[in-house]
Amino acid sequence: MKDLIKSEMMRYVLENKENWLEEVITMSLL
């Protein structure tokens, strides 16, 4: 499960390089 999440997040990061940091912070707060 964790590997799937990591791959999805990495793909998201690559597609949204400008907003990845904000997204990571948001996910961490959830």
Q: Between the CA atoms of 24, 27, 29 and 30, what dihedral angle is there, to the nearest 10 degrees?
A: 180
Query: Residue ranges of the domains in the chain?
Result: 1-30
| Tens-digit pLDDT profile for residues 1-30 | 789 989 988 888 788 777 777 888 888 987
* Interatomic CA distance for residues 30 and 22, integer angstroms: 13
pTM: 0.40
Instruction: Please tell me what DSSP assigns to residue 30.
Output: -
* Interatomic CA distance for residues 24 and 1, integer angstroms: 18
**One-letter amino acid of 13:** V
Residues 6 or more apart whose Cβ sits within 8 Å of residue 27? 9
Q: Look at residue 11 in the predicted model and tell me its pLDDT.
A: 85
